[in-house]
Chains A and B, each alone.
Chain A
């Protein structure tokens, strides 16, 4: 099953989004919140993100949802760290280009259904175009 990592500058935001997405997820989904720095302050930490991806992976890849600016840079740095980590360089990991909350919910549904990483990313990115008002 594809794993999901939620990356935010805020620990509370990441955990809150995780909580919402978990309601839509099956019991086996690896859904990891990775928000803030280790000490709980606002920011993103590429090394923590790297570890979250390792934790989320069960062999079928990992979809990352990220919030803003430097969160994307830290997530990309984490992917690069993984590439140079001999033990974990085979993990397939991608960042979904989508709003973090809506994307996380869609990705959780798709991953829980057993979709491939490509399909989970597509589902997360479909959320980008969702209209809220009809």
Chain B
């Protein structure tokens, strides 16, 4: 965990876990801090997310997500060494406390990440990639959705691809994270131009066009919080 590791860009295939390599502090406490950063952002943007959901859904996305992350902040072990255990606990709390569709979706995403990281106190590049793919696979399975259906996948999949592409080009960590967030932002903006075919918004048909998807937006906030935490 020396500086040579820190500056090795090849370590970075999955940004959430890059901070694991940043220093000699307890790994899992860093996972906790990152999740706390995500929680702060979701809670701060509660009204914004709810407003987006008012336009094409049932006006509860921000309220539900904030409730889930508030509970997670209280329940997560701050000194657990097993990264998988922290992610699993986050998933279980979100499954229980969010209530709306984002509960099983984000809950499943964290549970899948947990499974891929089970028993680990450090993660390699390959672990990170496996985790990211597990997350996307879990969301697809749970939501029976694909890219282009005006969902969180429209933020997450382009972000993952942009991140991997930046990595393959040998870009720096900061550039990779920025590429991830730029693609997530573009993907989230793109949801305004398409029709919803999944979830409550699908009842609106073409009238859902013009509105930004709340789930894609909370996914964007999640990735931006990760970037901001790691970049700090």
Interface residues of A (CB under 8 A from B): 9, 37-38, 41-48, 69-70, 73-74, 76-77, 80-81
Residues of B contacting A48 in the complex (Cβ-Cβ under 8 angstroms)? 96
The CA-CA distance from A47 to B111 in the complex, in Å, is 13
CA distance A37 to B98 in the complex (A): 9
A48 to B103, CA, bound (A): 13
The answer to whether A45 touches B99 (Cβ under 8 A) is: yes
Binary interface profile of B, 94-105, with partner A (CB < 8 Å = 1, else 0)?
Answer: 011111110111
B84 touches A (CB below 8 Å): no
- What's the dominant secondary structure at chain A's contact region? helix
* CA of A16 to CA of B196, assembled, Å: 33
Distance from A113 Cβ to chain B, minimum over Cβ atoms (Å)? 33
Query: Which A residues lie within 8 Å of B101 (CB)?
Result: 69-70, 73
Separation of A44 and B101 alpha carbons in the complex (Å): 9
Of all chain A residues, the one with the shortest Cβ separation from B100 is A70
Contact call A45/B95, Cβ cutoff below 8 A: yes
Whether, in the assembled complex, B107 has its beta carbon less than 8 Å from a beta carbon of chain A, the answer is yes
Residue B13, interface by CB 8 Å: no
* Interface check B26, CB cutoff 8 A: no
Q: What would 5 more interface pairs be, CB under 8 Å, given A37-B97, A69-B101?
A: A42-B99, A43-B64, A46-B107, A47-B96, A69-B199
A46 CA to B105 CA in the complex, in Å?
11
Chain A residue at smallest Cβ distance from B105 = A73
Q: Which residues of B contact A (CB under 8 A)?
A: 64, 92, 95-101, 103-105, 107-108, 142-143, 199-200
- Give the total number of A-B pairs whose CB atoms are below 8 A apart: 53
Could you say which of B92, B100, B105, B108 contacts A47, with CB atoms under 8 Å apart?
B92
Contact A46 B104 (CB under 8 A): yes
Residues of B within 8 A of A46 (CB): 95-96, 103-104, 107
Q: With A and B bound together, what is the CA distance between A66 and B103 in angstroms? A: 16
Given A69-B200, A74-B103, A77-B104, are A43 and B142 neighbors across the interface (CB < 8 Å)? no
How near does chain B come to A11, taking the closest CB pair, in angstroms? 12
Taken together as a complex, chains A and B put the C-alpha atoms of A44 and B95 apart, in Å, by 8
Given contacts A69-B199, A73-B142, A73-B143, contact A37 B96 (CB under 8 A): yes
Chain A residues, Cβ within 8 Å of B105: 73
Residues on A with beta carbons closer than 8 Å to the beta carbon of B200: 69
Collect the chain A residues with CB atoms within 8 Å of residue B97's CB. Answer: 37, 45
Report the Cα distance A45→B96, complex, angstroms. Answer: 4
A9 to B97, CA, bound (A): 13
Tell me which residues across on chain A come within 8 A of B142, comparing CB atoms: 73, 76-77
Closest to A48 in B: B96
Which chain B positions have C-beta within 8 A of A37?
96-97, 99
Residues of B within 8 A of A77 (CB): 95, 104, 107-108, 142
Give CA–CA (A41, B97) in the complex, Å: 10
Residues of B close to A38: CB separation below 8 A: 96
B98's nearest neighbour on chain A, judged by CB, is A43
